[in-house]
Amino acid sequence: MKIQIQQYCNIFSNKVFLNGTLLFEPAHKNTDIDVFLSEIYAFFKMDYRKFFKMDRLSKVGFVASELMMQTFDREQPKEDMGIIFFNQSSSIEADKAYQQTIQDKNNYYPSPAVFVYTLPNIVTGEIAIRNKIHGETAFFVFPLFQSVLIEETVKSVFSNSGLKNLLVGWVEVAEKELDVCMMLCEVGEEEQIEFNSENIEKIYNKSLI
- Name the residue among 88, 108, 86, 90 with its Cα closest to residue 99: 108
User: Average pLDDT of 189-201?
Assistant: 91
Q: How many separate domains does the chain show?
A: 1
Tens-digit pLDDT profile for residues 17-59: 999 999 999 988 778 999 999 999 999 999 999 999 999 999 9
Does residue 123 lie within any of the structural domains? yes
For 207, residues 6+ apart whose C-beta sits below 8 A from its C-beta are 201
Does residue 125 lie within any of the structural domains? yes
Residue 41's CATH number = 3.40.47.10
Does residue 57 lie within any of the structural domains? yes
pLDDT recorded at residue 96: 84
In which domain, by residue range, is 96 found? 3-204
Q: What is the pTM of this model?
A: 0.93
Does residue 56 lie within any of the structural domains? yes
Does residue 209 lie within any of the structural domains? no
For 181, residues 6+ apart whose C-beta sits below 8 A from its C-beta are 8, 9, 10, 169, 170, 203, 204
Does residue 175 lie within any of the structural domains? yes
Tens-digit pLDDT profile for residues 108-152: 777 788 888 889 999 999 999 999 999 999 999 999 999 999 999
Helix boundaries (H) for 73-146: 92-102, 112-115, 122-131
CA dist., res. 39 & res. 114, Å (int): 22
Tens-digit pLDDT profile for residues 62-111: 999 999 999 999 999 999 999 999 999 999 888 888 788 787 677 777 77
- Name the residue among 120, 156, 157 with its Cα closest to residue 139: 120
